[in-house]
Amino acid sequence: MDKTGLLFRFNAFHLRWSNASLLVHRSFDGHIVSMQQSGSHWVKNMLSSILIQRYNLPPLAHIQDDSVVGHTKSPPVYKNIPQIVHSHGFPHALTLKIPGLHFPKYLILVRDLREALISHYERFKGIHGLDFQTFLHGRQRKTALYGDIWTRIRFFNEWGKILEANPDHAMLLHYEDCKRDAAKELRRICTFFNITEVTDDMIAKAVADSAPDKMAAKPNPAVQTTVVRTEQRRPVEAYFTPENQAFFDATIRQYLKYDLGYGYKKPEGA
């Protein structure tokens, strides 16, 4: 095994046991865990709209308002609603493995890896100051390149194990399925989190209110980067040149154990 492989496996093992955030913060009904740039703000806004309608709550102040779908480390704003939070976290090695300990239901939101990498790069390239190829190759250490290919492979692998072992307590959600039929997927989310008395009209309003143009019109004034991209987008091939695609394919083939339904090539020896 080469140095890259050893470092990747060491980091994965170390973080699997040392990052205890999700093991500590468990007192919720549901937890949306998303890979970065996978549509988390969209899903959060749709689900927030459902809860706002269902429990007659004030509207969100902006698209990153955490008052309805909260954060793992913040106290709830409304205690009379299902307590659902969101993070980009990773499971601990003991997540869902300790008998008698409460864990929330986990909704794992993912997106095609290439599309997610491009979206992340476009949002943060002004901060990174890197060309796409440098960002794609990334670094396997804690740097400003959080969200690179190595972080995303680890996200797929760690949550893939959780999904495989806990089908009743964890559910996979693809960004692409939400794009195809947002109403259907939102209904599935409500069912998974046991949110009752949700009508078709409520679903329709939540989807309509979370359209890209409406979300783009309500940015968080405290955030400088653009959350909802509305500009003309370049094709994937503009980023994934033959050289970049070859690196992507080889890296996925060697390190990705769970493709989460995307049909990527299996790692060697798997």
Domains of the chain (ranges; CATH) run 3-255 (3.40.50.300)
Q: Decide if pLDDT at 174 tops 90.
A: yes
For the residues 50-64, what does the mean pLDDT come to? 95
Alpha carbon 165 to its chain centroid, in Å, reads 19
* Average pLDDT rounded to a whole number, residues 32-54: 96
The H or E element containing residue 211 is none
> What would the mean pLDDT of 157-165 be, rounded to a whole number?
98
Alpha helices in 64-217 (DSSP H): 113-128, 132-137, 149-165, 175-180, 182-192, 200-209, 212-216
- What is the spatial distance between Cα 77 and Cα 68, in angstroms, rounded to a whole number? 7
Q: Are 172 and 166 in contact (CB under 8 A)?
A: no
Question: Given pLDDT bands bounded at 50, 70 and 90, which one contains residue 123?
Answer: confident
**Helical (H) or strand (E) element with 222:** none
CA distance linking residue 208 with residue 202, whole number of Å? 10
Q: What is the mean pLDDT of residues 155-184?
A: 98
Residue type, 253: R
269: tokens are: 């020896």
CA dist., res. 229 & res. 232, Å (int):
9
Can you tell me the distance from the alpha carbon of 227 to that of 113, in angstroms, rounded to the nearest whole number? 18
Predicted pLDDT at 144: 45
Q: Is the pLDDT of residue 267 over 80?
A: no
| Range with the poorest average pLDDT among 44-48, 121-125, 170-174 | 121-125
